[in-house]
């Protein structure tokens, strides 16, 4: 199944790689920072069709369009273009994210950045890979940690809380980055390129696939309250290489 999902995702990536005149086909959904392009829709339609051919009995939860009630044990959770604003501005940091979830547990995860041709993947209990090579989180301690985060652009009532947390982490760690695509950010931690990612609220398609890739690479992910994340519901996340996860306690002061 993982190989089949990877094949579909790579094929969908060609729609992104061949995109042109993106800004002319971009509209705002809820705000100037919440964008959708014709390619988001085209990629999701392609993924829906091809993934459900692999597992016709599964539900499909994608970012674009209406979200029907989930009634089946299996569900594909899909972000056709995570990092749409980056895509529109040709920053090269966007991805396709596909998770296959069974009864709320992510069993397969694939995150693909077609601009760098980096494909991250994982199957529960079998490790994580980058382009078929095993990956593992770093062993950096908090003092040497690189922190990644978003900026609550869709939930601005949380902005003050977010930046207070970022300030606390910045005071204890080496530096921070804000790249604009949460699924890829989780994979950066999985690959040992960064140590911490936190977000006050994400949608399931933002983190479902990346969460499995991270944990299979030896990392840890919880809510900001320290509880289990839900692969089918929106919520906060605190992800780390494991060694830095204790910093979560300092954010609650």
Q: How does the average pLDDT of the chain come out, rounded?
A: 95
- Which distant-in-sequence residues (6+ apart) come within 8 Å of 250 by Cβ? 168, 169, 172
pLDDT, average across residues 37-59: 96
What was the pLDDT predicted at 36?
A: 86
What was the pLDDT predicted at 63?
A: 92
Kindly indicate the confidence band of residue 27, based on its pLDDT and cuts at 50, 70 and 90: confident
Kindly indicate the confidence band of residue 53, based on its pLDDT and cuts at 50, 70 and 90: very high
What was the pLDDT predicted at 5?
A: 98
Phi/psi at 78 (5° precision)? -135, 130
Q: List the beta bridge partners of residue 199.
A: 237
Q: Is the pLDDT of residue 31 over 80?
A: no
Q: Is the pLDDT of residue 160 over 80?
A: yes
**Degrees to nearest 5, angle at CA 77 with 76 and 82:** 140
> What's the pLDDT tens digit per position in 86-115?
999 999 999 999 999 999 999 999 999 999
Q: Is the pLDDT of residue 24 over 80?
A: no
CA nearest to 152, candidates 107, 185, 198: 198
d(CA 40, CA 84): 8
Q: What is the 3-state secondary structure (H, E, C) of the chain?
A: CHHHHHHHHHHHHHHHHCCCCCHHHEEEEEECCEEEEHHHHHHHHHHHHHHHHHCCCCEEEECCCCCCCCCCCEEEEEEEEECHHHHHCCCCCCEEEEEEEECCEEEEEEEEECCCCEEEEEECCCCEEECCEECCCCCCCHHHCEEEECCCCCCHHHHHHHHHHHHHHHHHCCEEECCCCHHHHHHHHHCCCCCEEEEEEECHHHHHHHHHHHHHCCCEEECCCCCCCCCCCCEEEEEECCCCHHHHHHHHC
Kindly indicate the confidence band of residue 144, based on its pLDDT and cuts at 50, 70 and 90: very high
At the top level of CATH, the class of 2-134 is alpha beta
Give the domain ranges of the chain.
2-134, 142-252
What was the pLDDT predicted at 155?
A: 86
Contact 106, 208 (CB under 8 A): yes
> What's the pLDDT tens digit per position in 110-124?
999 999 999 999 999
pLDDT, average across residues 57-70: 92
What was the pLDDT predicted at 253?
A: 61
> The domain 142-252: what is its CATH number?
3.40.190.80
Q: Is the pLDDT of residue 75 over 90?
A: yes
- Token pair 């990877």 in the structure block, residue: 6
What was the pLDDT predicted at 56?
A: 98
Q: Is the pLDDT of residue 195 over 90?
A: yes
Q: What percent of the chain has pLDDT over 70?
A: 99
Report residue 217 CA to chain centroid gap: 15
């Amino acid at each position: 199944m993982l190989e089949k999902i990877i094949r579909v995702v790579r094929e969908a990536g060609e729609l992104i790689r061949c995109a042109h005149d993106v800004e002319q086909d971009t509209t705002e959904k809820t705000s100037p920072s919440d964008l959708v392009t014709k390619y988001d829709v085209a990629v999701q339609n392609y993924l829906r069709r091809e993934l459900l051919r692999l597992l016709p009995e599964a539900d499909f939860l994608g970012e674009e369009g209406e979200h029907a009630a989930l009634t089946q044990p299996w569900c594909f959770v899909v972000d056709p273009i995570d990092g749409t604003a980056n895509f529109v501005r040709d920053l090269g940091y966007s991805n396709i994210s596909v998770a296959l979830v069974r009864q709320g547990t992510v069993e397969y995860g694939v995150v693909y950045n077609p601009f760098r041709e980096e494909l991250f993947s994982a199957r529960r209990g079998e490790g994580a890979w980058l382009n078929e090579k095993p990956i593992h989180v770093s062993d950096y301690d908090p003092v040497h940690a690189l922190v990644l985060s978003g900026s609550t652009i869709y939930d601005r009532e949380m902005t003050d809380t977010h930046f207070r947390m970022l300030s606390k982490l910045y005071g204890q760690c080496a530096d921070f980055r804000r790249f604009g695509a949460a699924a890829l950010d989780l994979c950066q931690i999985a690959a040992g390129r960064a140590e911490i990612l936190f977000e006050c609220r994400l949608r399931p398609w933002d983190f479902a696939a990346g969460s499995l890739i991270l944990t299979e690479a030896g990392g840890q992910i919880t809510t900001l309250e320290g509880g289990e994340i839900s692969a089918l519901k929106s919520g906060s996340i605190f992800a780390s290489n494991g060694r830095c996860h204790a910093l979560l306690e300092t954010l609650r002061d």
